[in-house]
């Protein structure tokens, strides 16, 4: 049996839950599927201090639970499940959950987010939220006057290093190659900054510390005569080697950029397929903040409401 839905929301981060709040209040009877990580990446953040309305800060888990409860309060049906296939060839659109639940949706809001790329070290998970971060803008404040390390050699890594240098006492930039891939202007800013030290031809072997990150083990000049291991005392470890949008399952139907971010029309969450919208980090390769994701979820729900009204629903 195929379930028919007016507004299907895929994903449960700030974009998904906000879209659900607005869609429910507009009487669209939204159904939201949470995905593999209910609440999204923010649930792995211990403290969020830059989301409006929480003057004393809030844990990422609590923030997402508050948004979830608000969406449910207005009647959103929230289910656990993964989208395993979609067919956007014609409306209503076909979506399959966990390879067995078949849905027909008049509108679809994709809010599946983006996943930060990690090095693959066990310590990254061990210290997640306790010194390991993939967002300097989100967590940099906690490292005022402390020592941090940033992994990466591109523009993002340089931007994060410069941002962190405005707060931290010292910033190490760990670069696997013997050069920075960033633009010339960013390279110059990093290389000339008094608080930033770039460690070229350096790899991270592991992190150390009691409950929180307190140090980093490094390997420099691998397989060269001057190969050596070293250890640095640090308080924070920031990954800046890129994000991967969770968009693979939609690429047959929707246009993405070379990284995988879903392309939207102008400054809206509309995609090239009428009735299908993209909100949050799956379509945002620039800001990637909880508040901007929530705002785009609001826009997506409003566009879905307009679309359904025009179709007479």
Q: Which of 135, 158, 281, 298 is catalytic?
A: 135
DSSP reduced 3-state for 74? coil
Q: Which of 7, 65, 123, 138 is catalytic?
A: 138
- Alpha carbon 129 to its chain centroid, in Å, reads 14
Report the C-alpha gap between 48 and 122 in whole angstroms: 24
CA-to-CA dists, residue 144 to 147, 157, 167, angstroms:
9, 18, 5
Establish whether 158 is a catalytic residue.
no
Q: SS3 string of 18-44?
A: HHHHHHHHCCCCCEEECCCCCCCHHHH
Instruction: For residue 130, count other CB atoms closer than 10 A to its CB.
Output: 14
Buried b or exposed e, range 43-55, using 16+ CB within 10 angstroms: bbbebbeebeeee
Establish whether 7 is a catalytic residue.
no
Q: Locate 289 and state its tokens.
A: 């903040």
Structure-derived torsion over alpha carbons of residues 41, 43, 47, 53, reported in degrees to the nearest 10: 90
Helices (H), 74-223: 122-126, 136-139, 155-165, 184-191
Which residues fall within 8 angstroms of residue 49, CB to CB, at 6 or more apart?
57, 141
- Alpha carbon 126 to its chain centroid, in Å, reads 19
Q: Which of 7, 66, 87, 139 is catalytic?
A: 139
Which residues fall within 8 angstroms of residue 27, CB to CB, at 6 or more apart?
none
Active site residues: 135, 138-139
């Amino acid at each position: 049996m195929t379930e028919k839905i007016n507004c299907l929301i895929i994903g449960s981060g700030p974009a998904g839950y906000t879209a659900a709040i607005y869609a429910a209040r507009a009487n669209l009877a939204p159904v939201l599927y949470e995905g593999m990580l209910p609440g999204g990446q923010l649930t792995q953040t211990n403290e969020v201090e830059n989301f409006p309305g929480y003057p004393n800060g809030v844990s990422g888990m609590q923030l997402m639970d508050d948004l979830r409860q608000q969406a449910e309060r207005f009647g959103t049906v929230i289910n656990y499940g993964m989208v395993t296939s979609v067919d956007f060839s014609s409306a209503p659109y076909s979506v399959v959950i966990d390879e067995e639940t078949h849905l027909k949706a008049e509108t679809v809001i994709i809010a599946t987010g983006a996943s930060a790329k990690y090095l693959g070290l066990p310590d990254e998970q061990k210290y997640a939220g306790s010194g390991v971060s993939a967002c300097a803008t989100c967590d940099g404040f906690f490292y005022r006057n402390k020592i941090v390390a940033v992994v990466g050699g591109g523009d993002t890594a340089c931007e994060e290093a410069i941002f962190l240098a405005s707060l931290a006492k010292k910033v190490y930039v760990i670069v696997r190659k013997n050069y920075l891939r960033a633009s010339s202007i960013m390279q110059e800013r990093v290389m000339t900054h008094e608080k930033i030290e770039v460690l070229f031809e350096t790899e991270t072997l592991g992190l150390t510390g009691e409950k929180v990150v307190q140090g980093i083990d490094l390997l420099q000049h691998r397989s060269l005569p001057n190969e050596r291991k070293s250890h640095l005392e640090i308080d924070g470890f920031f990954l800046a080697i890129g994000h991967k949008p969770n968009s693979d399952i939609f690429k047959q139907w929707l246009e993405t950029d070379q990284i995988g971010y879903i392309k939207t029309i102008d400054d809206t969450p509309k995609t090239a397929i009428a009735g299908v919208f993209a909100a949050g980090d799956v379509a945002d390769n620039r800001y990637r903040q909880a508040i901007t994701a929530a705002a785009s979820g609001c826009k997506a729900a409003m566009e879905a409401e307009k679309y359904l009204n025009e179709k007479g629903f």
